[in-house]
């Protein structure tokens, strides 16, 4: 049959040839070794940690090598498209420090390789489909869903591999007239690839993360163009990554199984394969079973990026943590280079893990503590203000009215070789310092059991009587020791440890009565410093109020 005629019958509108497109999307002018990467999310509205994990790898690979990282929206599956998904995706990625050089952006599309929405590239895909049909490498298939279901059922019964291949590919060789008459009757069709593959033959590709992969060739006549005229993922990504001159395709390992199809498509089109980098799924240890399992949208709120924004994680902390799970030697590098920006790290695909990456919120929290410990109090304040404006509007005016006080609070015990590390993320930080604000203050912890109510009352009475805001730290603590000694508590904790029978408790218990009265908690940073920040009036008021509790 005249394949060209068939191609023209199926795609009368398409005038461009593959050569036209090659000329329109020329090779990029980049230095040797520069990588071109892309993120290809579907606009489903749910942006998750896996997207960010992949995006960070894309971004690092491109920018470490002087290349380009672009954003392409894979929206050929119109059923799944959610309105507002693209701006949400852009803003979430931007929040975590991922900005693209090219492609879909907040102000439209930039770059010479667009359009960057797959749905706007219909004619480009059809040009190549037409070309494949003209070469006899693809064909229209009119099989109905019922026919396909029947084939599948009989394959299942005969224990054969499911799918449309070999003799099951019934429309491989329809005559031209048959095609004309079916189209005339309004029958819908898809375009399938005519597979030349043999599943007894193996091909190999080198995956940058997993090394050499050897897989059987694809035998299925896969659909490359759907009834809607839009391509399947397989076909779209092959065409786009070729024309957009992507050098490295970083994507989830769930795509590895379809690699034989992709390799076959690149071959059929006569194009060079990009370097595939199949990354791993993010796993967690299930709280109940103790087993490793995939993070799930339904069960794990921490899979969503919004979770980190709402909780108030500083973006650097999330990036820093993701770097530790992306490249195994990152942590070691960070320990040796505490003050370097993460961009200085020698990131590579080869150092990425190839089996389920464990995501651990506790570890993220540890990383976050370190990141916050490296920030200035002023930077933490700016972050808190921004976070509150977006996610905790009720706290905004309180924070804004107390900026100086907050800087002093965040500065407690920050200087020196071992800064305090109790700040983790926005919500936790506010909660941690909330006792500084009367509206949020409450007594949460129990007064120490070593101090009877009568003693508590006496401690608070005497403390208030002797309180002098002008005392320096050692004069202040001297008074607490005297007080402790007078009431039968050991002045030094170790004396109490040695001879517990001689004392009611020790000076730490006494100072904790004061600490709880002032902060509501039995653990806090340095209490003298806290009082300096609170101010004498608030100190006196809280001590008096706590004293009143023991009436």
Nearer to ligand GLU, 245 or 374 (CB): 245
- Residue closer to ligand GLU (CB basis): 74 or 450: 74
Number of residues that bind ligand GLU (CB under 6 A): 8
Residue among 40, 38, 36, 100 nearest 68 (CA): 36
Quote the least distance from Cβ 396 to ligand GLU, whole Å: 36
Q: Kind of pairing, strands 190-193 and 223-225? A: antiparallel
CB of 281 to ligand GLU, least distance (A): 12
Cα 34 from chain centroid (whole Å): 25
- Please say whether the dihedral angle defined by the alpha carbons of residues 22, 24, 26 and 28, taken in this order, is positive or negative: negative
Query: CA–CA separation, 224 vs 140, rounded Å?
Result: 10
Instruction: Name the segment binding ligand GLU (CB under 6 A); options: 6-14, 38-46, 190-198, 221-229.
Output: 38-46
Contact criterion met (CB below 8 Å) for 389 and 448: no
Q: Give strand ranges (E) for 232-272.
A: 248-252
Task: Say how many Å lie between the first and final Cα of the chain, rounded.
Answer: 103
55-89 CB burial, b ≥16 within 10 A, e <16: bbbbbbbbbbbebbbbbbbbbbbeeebeeebbebb
Task: Rank residues 239 and 517 by Cβ distance to ligand GLU and give the closer one.
Answer: 239
Closest contact distance (angstroms) between CB of 40 and ligand GLU is 4
Cβ 118 to ligand GLU shortest distance, Å: 9
CB of 73 to ligand GLU, least distance (A): 9
| 123-182 positions binding ligand GLU, by CB under 6 A | none
CB closer to ligand GLU, 40 vs 197: 40
CB count, 10 Å around CB of 147?
15
Nearest distance from C-beta of residue 296 to ligand GLU, angstroms: 16
CA distance 528 to 525: 9
41 binds ligand GLU (CB under 6 A): yes
Assess 40 for contact with ligand GLU (CB under 6 A). Answer: yes
Residue 76 interacts with ligand GLU (CB under 6 A)? no
Residues 6+ apart with CB under 8 A from 309: 92, 95, 390, 391
Q: How far is the CB of 196 from ligand GLU (least distance, A)?
A: 24
Residue 265 CA to residue 218 CA, distance in Å, equals 10
- Supply the minimum distance, in Å, between the C-beta of residue 249 and ligand GLU: 6
For residue 41, the minimal CB distance to ligand GLU (Å) is 5
Q: Does residue 312 touch ligand GLU according to CB under 6 A?
A: no
Quick one: 70 or 308, whose CB is closer to ligand GLU? 70
CA distance 36 to 111: 13
Q: Which stretch binds ligand GLU (CB under 6 A): 35-43, 173-181, 361-369, 441-449?
A: 35-43
- CB atoms near residue 216 (< 10 Å): 13
Task: Between 281 and 396, name the residue whose CB sits nearer to ligand GLU.
Answer: 281
Does 426 bind ligand GLU (CB under 6 A)? Our answer is: no
Indicate the DSSP class of residue 73. B
CA dihedral defined by 403, 408, 409, 411, rounded to 10 degrees?
Answer: 120
Query: Using CA atoms, how far apart are residues 125 and 342, in angstroms rounded to an integer?
Result: 39
Q: Of 352, 330, 356, 343, which Cα lies nearest the Cα of 276?
A: 352
**What is the smallest separation between the CB atom of 266 and ligand GLU, expressed in angstroms?**
13
List binders of ligand GLU among 180-239 (CB under 6 A).
237
Distance, in Å, from the CA atom of 109 to the CA atom of 121, rounded to the nearest integer, reads 14
Least Å from the CB of residue 255 to ligand GLU: 6
Given a contact cutoff of 8 angstroms between Cβ atoms, the answer to whether 546 and 443 are in contact is yes
- Residue 529 to residue 526: CA distance in whole angstroms: 6
Beta pairing class for 282-285 and 357-358: parallel
Query: Which residue stretch of 16-24, 36-44, 412-420, 471-479 sits at the interface with ligand GLU (rule: CB under 6 A)?
Result: 36-44
| Conformational region of residue 211, where left means phi above 0, alpha means psi within -120 to 50, and beta covers everything else | left
Which residue, 256 or 377, has its beta carbon nearer to ligand GLU? Answer: 256
Nearest residue (CB) to ligand GLU, 248 versus 506: 248
**Nearer to ligand GLU among residue 105 and residue 231 (C-beta):** 231
Least Å distance, CB 58 to ligand GLU, is 9
CB 406, CB 356: distance < 8 Å: no
In degrees to the nearest 10, what's the CA dihedral of 214, 218, 224, 226?
-120
Binding of ligand GLU at residue 74 (CB under 6 A)?
A: yes
Q: Which is nearer to ligand GLU, 44 or 348 (CB)?
A: 44
Which of 82/153 has CB closer to ligand GLU? Answer: 82
In the complex, least distance from residue 74 CB atom to ligand GLU, rounded to whole angstroms: 4
Q: Which member of 7, 14, 42, 352 binds ligand GLU (CB under 6 A)? A: 42
Nearest residue (CB) to ligand GLU, 40 versus 260: 40
**Closest CB to ligand GLU among residues 243, 543:** 243
CB of 156 to ligand GLU, least distance (A): 28
Query: CB-based burial of residue 521 (10 Å sphere; 0-12 exposed, 13-18 middle, 19+ buried)?
Result: middle
* Alpha carbons 388 and 398: distance in angstroms, whole number: 10
Residue 430: closest CA among 460, 391, 458 = 391
Site stretch for ligand GLU (CB under 6 A), options 213-221, 248-256, 371-379, 463-471: 248-256
Q: Does 111 bind ligand GLU (CB under 6 A)?
A: no
- Contact pick of 251, 369, 504, 506 for ligand GLU (by CB under 6 A): 251
Q: If you compute the radius of gyration of the chain from its CA atoms, what whole number of angstroms results?
A: 33
Q: Where does this chain bind ligand GLU (CB under 6 A)?
A: 40-42, 74, 237, 249, 251, 255
């Amino acid at each position: 049959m005249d394949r060209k005629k068939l191609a023209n019958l199926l795609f009368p509108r398409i005038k461009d040839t593959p050569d036209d497109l090659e000329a329109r999307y020329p090779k990029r002018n980049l230095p040797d070794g520069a990588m071109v990467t892309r993120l290809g999310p579907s606009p489903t509205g749910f942006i998750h940690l896996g997207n960010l994990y992949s995006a960070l790898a894309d971004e690092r690979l491109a920018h470490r090598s002087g290349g380009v990282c672009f954003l392409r929206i894979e929206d050929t599956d119109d059923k799944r498209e959610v309105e507002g998904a693209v701006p949400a995706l852009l803003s979430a990625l931007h929040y975590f420090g991922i900005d693209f050089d090219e492609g879909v952006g907040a102000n439209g599309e930039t770059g010479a390789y667009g359009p960057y929405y797959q749905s706007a590239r219909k004619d480009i895909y059809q040009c190549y489909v037409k070309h494949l049909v003209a070469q006899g490498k693809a064909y229209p298939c009119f099989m109905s869903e019922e026919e396909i279901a029947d084939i599948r059922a009989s394959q299942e019964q005969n224990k054969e591999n499911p799918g449309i291949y070999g003799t099951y590919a019934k429309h491989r060789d329809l005559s031209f007239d048959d095609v004309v008459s079916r189209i005339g009757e309004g029958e819908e069709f898809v375009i399938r690839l005519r597979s030349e593959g043999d599943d007894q033959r193996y091909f190999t590709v080198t995956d940058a993360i997993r090394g050499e992969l050897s897989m059987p060739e694809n035998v299925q006549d896969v659909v490359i163009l759907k009834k809607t005229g839009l391509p399947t993922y397989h076909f779209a990504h092959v065409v786009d990554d070729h024309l957009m001159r992507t050098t490295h395709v970083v994507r989830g390992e769930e795509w590895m199984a379809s690699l034989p199809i992709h390799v076959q498509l690149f071959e059929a089109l006569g194009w060079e394969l990009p370097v595939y980098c199949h990354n791993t799924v993010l796993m967690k240890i299930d709280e109940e079973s103790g087993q490793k399992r995939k993070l799930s949208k339904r069960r794990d709120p921490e899979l969503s990026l919004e979770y980190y924004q709402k909780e108030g994680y500083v973006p650097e902390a999330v990036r820093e943590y993701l770097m530790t799970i992306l490249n195994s030697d990152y942590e070691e590098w960070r320990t040796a280079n505490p003050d370097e920006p993460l961009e200085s790290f020698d990131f590579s695909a080869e150092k990425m893990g190839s089996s389920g990456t464990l995501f651990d919120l506790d570890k993220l929290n540890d990383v976050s503590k370190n990141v916050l410990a490296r920030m200035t109090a002023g930077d933490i304040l700016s972050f808190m203000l921004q976070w509150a404006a977006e996610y905790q509007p009720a706290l905004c005016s309180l924070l804004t009215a107390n900026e100086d006080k907050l800087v002093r609070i965040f500065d407690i015990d920050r200087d020196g070789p071992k800064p305090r590390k109790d700040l983790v993320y926005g919500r936790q930080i506010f909660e941690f310092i909330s006792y500084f604000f009367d509206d949020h203050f409450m007594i949460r912890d129990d007064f120490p059991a070593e101090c009877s109510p009568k003693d508590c009352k006496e401690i608070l009475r005497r403390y208030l009587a002797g309180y002098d805001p002008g005392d320096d730290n050692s004069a202040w603590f001297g008074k607490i020791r005297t007080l402790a000694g007078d009431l039968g508590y050991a002045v030094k904790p170790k004396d109490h440890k040695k001879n517990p029978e001689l004392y009611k408790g020790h000076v730490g218990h006494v100072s904790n009565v004061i600490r709880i009265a002032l902060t509501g908690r039995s653990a806090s940073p340095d209490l003298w410093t806290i009082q300096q920040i609170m101010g004498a009036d608030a100190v006196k008021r809280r001590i008096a109020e706590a004293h009143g509790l023991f009436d």
